[in-house]
Amino acid sequence: MLRTQRNKGHEGRRDFLSALVKASLAVLGLGGLAGLPYFYPFSTGKEGALEFVRVFDEYSLPRRGVKKVDFTFRDQSFRVYLSNANGKIIALSPTCTHLGCQVRWNPFKNEFDCPCHGSAFDITGKVIGGPAPRPLTRLPYKIVNGDFYIGVRT
Amino acid sequence: MAWKWFTEKWPYYQLKKLLLYEELPGGAAFASTLGSSLMVIFTLQVLTGIAQLFYYVPTTDHAYDSVAYLRTEVPFGWFVHNMHYWGANAMVLVIALHMIRVYVWGAYKTQLTWLIGVALMLCAMVMSFTGAPLIWDEKGYWAGEVGSGITSTVPVLGNIVKTILRGGESMGQLSISRFFVFHVWVFAPVLAFLIAAHIAALRTTGIAGPWDERKRRRVGHFWPDQAARDIIVASVVFFILVTLSVFLPPPFTGQADPLNTSYVPKPEWNFLFVYQALKYFQGPLEPVGTVGVPTVLIVLLVILPFIDKGPERNPLRRPIAMACLFVYACFIIAMTIMGYLSPGFAQMAGAAGAPAARLGKGETGGAKGPAGKGVAAGRKLFQSEGCAGCHKVNGQGGTMGPELSGATLKGKTRKWLADQIRNPKSHNPNSIMPAFSQLSKNQVNALVDYLMGLAGTGGAPGPAAKPQPRAPGAGAQVQPGQANAVSAPGQAQPSQLKVVPPDTVPETPSGKAAYIIGSASNGEQLFKEQCAQCHGAKGAGGVPNPGSAEGVVPPLSPINKNIASPDPKQFARNIDKFIQHGAIPPGPNPALQMPVFGDNNSLTQPEISNIEAYILKLNGVDRSIPAHPGMDPRLFYAVFVIAYVVAAIVLLMMWRNAGRSRT
């Protein structure tokens, strides 16, 4: 008597347990989705801090054309292209705005060329060819007491 | 005894029967061996992958070194690494052949097996993509940089996906960690799971067999008929992999260097078709090339078994399907070949590396001033005589002498320039510029034409002849690079440079670059730009150095035998001391001295390591030769081939014998 009753309950409990497992998996899955930010790092405020680094005196600035400047700051290497198009100095980041390769100045064509997918930028960093969506990033700089400082983020 | 106990407790025989004693409609065939070859390749990848994990370190500062250590210092490490590299390539290639085979036989009509197969193919591509950056060499770094950058072209979600892939805005430690976790801990197990599901689906639906109904009635057995064929083909694949691993090791492309512009990134061959597609879709259409084309190709594969549901499997009676395969395959093969042959954008754009060939007409370069006839010839001479080694023009060139574009030459007369070229000491007795008295009058005129053009349209008035000396000690946080390494003749911070005879290895310690295995081909380009002006093309020497005891700049090929060494590590350490710290040659008043390249960061350590690899190559020493190969690779190969042939003959005889004894 008792045994038959138990067997009767079996079917219902099996279904219940299956539903419970499925529901738990669904809850876990949704919980996992909520955990997605775990994989999406936000930059800390410290990372974005802008600092001005003295590179050289203002007499070393290019009178015309483009000058490549490499320097290290807090163990990090930096490269900046300083261009002087019409008497105005522009500091340009060498990172192509397309997919992040390093552009190089081509003095024979008077343009920055990207080796990866052929983007080209003029001396002011404006896109003149290729797939790059934006001009080269301009970096802040300042000249204080005859010294030239470039703004970098470490 | 123990075996019997084990098989009684555990369903060994049942499992064996389930897995092996399958009946095959149509009998065994060599055509259906590709799947099992893939199983063997995957197993090899797992084994060589685990073996590499014993040495690999997934950090930006140690990944390259740890792989280089594995390949050169660990006995048979080179073999393990090369097998993994070639196994990965073989995997992609054999998957393609396997899919073509399944398509021609019409076997995709089983639907589920095909779908899991498509997922497997994608998974293998992901493995290929995530594996390359782990080495953190130039090739892998840029493949990762560009590959993850491509995801950012996806509308709306692109940047989020890119950030999640890289673990941040730019490539760095979090990127290598993520690629490592994806490659080893996520997609490798997923691949294994999908392979199991693929086989389970295959065994559930049964294999398709030949398309001919009558042939399909003949029944063969997986074990031993098909398995024997599988083993034969897999062993041939293994033989090819070993041969490639011994004779075609993947090149060392140098440690990843985000600032290196001498390396032209191009994707691995299996992604070349995407690279090529990217060229046709630019601007707002770019996502079509980066995401659209691959998505269409994948969707076509996924919906295939649901479009073509007809029972006909004979390829001769499926002309449309065969035409589609032809178009699909031709598209990918043609795009791959075009991507492979395309010179790369850098060469197309005429990069600074080979300017001499592109001179002549149509120039829009720096020479805009009162250009004489000789401007083009002068610019050519400027390159070929090595002027660019010491003088910058428009931001390109060496730093020993003053920059010549801009205001430096403003106000100088033609005669002054000609005198400076012929006899620099006539203007400044302490000038270290070599006298170019060997040039003809016409050549000097051409050079002057070119230089006058540079000086013609100077910008704001500034200090004319000499750049301002840099105040020492100013800007203490910054270690200046090329921008102000040596600003003018005679101001070379002599206290830092030591006098070193060219046949003596300095006592100073070598730098980090000496321990990095560089890339000789990368180094060749850097050598042309940085070293060839003084050490001669390919280091052949012969460049005069008046005032030094030797009279000439020491040649690097062959280099002085006290500095050379058959041991690549020792050799690299010896020349590294010169490159890092610079040196002054002995003599009363040497005109040229070895500049500092490392201490002032005018070259990065990976760049120096590439130059060192190139100088070693000039002297017949391979920087990347395994120091402890375990066994000489050629001897290893000879032993392998003999073992392979002997085993093949013996096993074939035993196979025939075994067949006879049962009948």
Q: What is the pLDDT of residues B201-215, one digit of tens each?
A: 998 888 888 888 888
Is B264 a member of any domain? no
On chain B, the residues whose CB falls within 8 A of the CB of A40 are 160, 163-164
- Note if the bond before B267 is cis, omega within 30 degrees: no
With a cut of 90, say whether residue B487 has pLDDT above it: no
Is B593 a member of any domain? yes
With a cut of 60, say whether residue A151 has pLDDT above it: yes
Residue of B nearest to A69 (CA): B483
d(CA B309, CA B294): 24
**What is residue B206's three-state secondary structure?**
coil
Is B10 a member of any domain? no
On chain A, the residues whose CB falls within 8 A of the CB of B283 are 131
pLDDT attached to residue B626: 92
With a cut of 90, say whether residue B187 has pLDDT above it: yes
**Same domain assignment for residues B447 and B584:** no
Mean pLDDT throughout B314-322?
92
Residue of A nearest to B603 (CA): A70
With a cut of 90, say whether residue B422 has pLDDT above it: no
More confident residue, B446 or A136: A136
**Same domain assignment for residues B250 and B364:** no
Least confident of B18-27, B61-70, B343-352, B560-569: B343-352
Q: Which domain does B380 fall in, by range?
A: 358-456
The minimum CA-CA distance between A23 and chain B, rounded to whole Å, is 24
**Same domain assignment for residues B231 and B111:** yes
Number of domains observed in the structure of chain B: 3
Mean pLDDT throughout B419-424?
78
Least confident of A80-94, B67-81, B436-450, B503-517: B436-450
The one-letter code for the residue type at B299 is: V
**Same domain assignment for residues B418 and B513:** no
Domain boundary residue among B399, B430, B456?
A: B456
On chain B, the residues whose CB falls within 8 A of the CB of A57 are 468, 470-471, 474
More confident residue, B493 or B137: B137
More confident residue, A41 or B663: A41
Q: Of B126, B124, B118, B83, give the one whose Cα is nearest residue B102.
A: B118
| DSSP-assigned letter for residue B464 | -
Q: Say whether residue B365 is in contact with chain A using an 8 A CB cutoff.
A: yes
Best of A46, A60, A61, A70 to mutate (most B CBs within 10 Å, chain B): A70
Q: CATH number of the domain that B177 lies in? A: 1.20.810.10
With a cut of 50, say whether residue A61 has pLDDT above it: yes
Binned at pLDDT 50, 70 and 90, residue A7 comes out as low
pLDDT attached to residue B348: 43
Mean pLDDT throughout B25-50?
94
Q: Are B618 and B223 spatial neighbours (Cβ–Cβ below 8 Å)? A: no
Complex-level ipTM = 0.74
Is B501 a member of any domain? yes
With a cut of 70, say whether residue A129 has pLDDT above it: yes
Residue-wise pLDDT for B256-275, tens only, equals 988 777 677 888 899 998 88
With a cut of 60, say whether residue B368 has pLDDT above it: no
On chain A, the residues whose CB falls within 8 A of the CB of B466 are none
d(CA B162, CA B234): 38
Question: What is the average pLDDT value for chain B, to the nearest integer?
Answer: 83
Tokens 């409990």 -> residue: A13
Is B12 a member of any domain? no
Tell if the CB–CB gap between B475 and A115 is shorter than 8 Å: no
Best of B166, B169, B282, B454 to mutate (most A CBs within 10 Å, chain A): B282
Residue-wise pLDDT for B213-248, tens only, equals 888 888 888 888 899 999 999 999 999 999 999 999
Mean pLDDT throughout B434-452?
76
Q: Which tokens sit at B378?
A: 């002068």
The minimum CA-CA distance between A44 and chain B, rounded to whole Å, is 11
d(CA B582, CA B31): 64
More confident residue, A1 or B13: B13
Q: CATH number of the domain that B554 lies in? A: 1.10.760.10
More confident residue, B199 or A131: B199
Residue of A nearest to B142 (CA): A101
**Same domain assignment for residues B445 and B504:** no
d(CA B456, CA B464): 13
Mean pLDDT throughout B60-65?
93
Q: Name the fold adopted by A50-153.
A: Rieske Iron-sulfur Protein (2.102.10)
pLDDT attached to residue A21: 97
Report how many Cβ contacts below 8 Å link chain A to chain B.
Answer: 195
With a cut of 50, say whether residue B11 has pLDDT above it: yes
**Same domain assignment for residues B48 and B164:** yes
**Same domain assignment for residues B167 and B116:** yes
More confident residue, B518 or B405: B518
Mean pLDDT throughout B566-575?
94
Alpha helices in B206-256 (DSSP H): 213-217, 227-247
pLDDT attached to residue A64: 80
With a cut of 50, say whether residue B579 has pLDDT above it: yes
Q: Say whether residue B357 is in contact with chain A using an 8 A CB cutoff.
A: no
Written as one string, the DSSP assignment of A53-83 is: EEEEEGGGS-SSEEEEEEEEETTEEEEEEEE
Written as one string, the DSSP assignment of B406-442 is: TTTTTT--HHHHHHHHH-GGGT-TT--PPP-TTS-HH
Alpha helices in B251-363 (DSSP H): 272-280, 286-287, 293-307, 319-341, 345-348
Residue-wise pLDDT for A106-126, tens only, equals 888 889 988 888 889 999 999
Mean pLDDT throughout A134-145?
89
With a cut of 60, say whether residue B10 has pLDDT above it: yes
Is B322 a member of any domain? no
Q: CATH number of the domain that B417 lies in? A: 2.60.40.420
- Domain boundaries along the sequence of chain A: 2-39, 50-153
| Contact map slice: B 104-163 vs A, CB within 8 A | 142, 145-146, 149-150, 152, 160, 163
Is B418 a member of any domain? yes
Is B424 a member of any domain? yes
With a cut of 60, say whether residue B469 has pLDDT above it: no
Q: What percent of chain B has pLDDT over 90?
A: 46
With a cut of 90, say whether residue A27 has pLDDT above it: yes
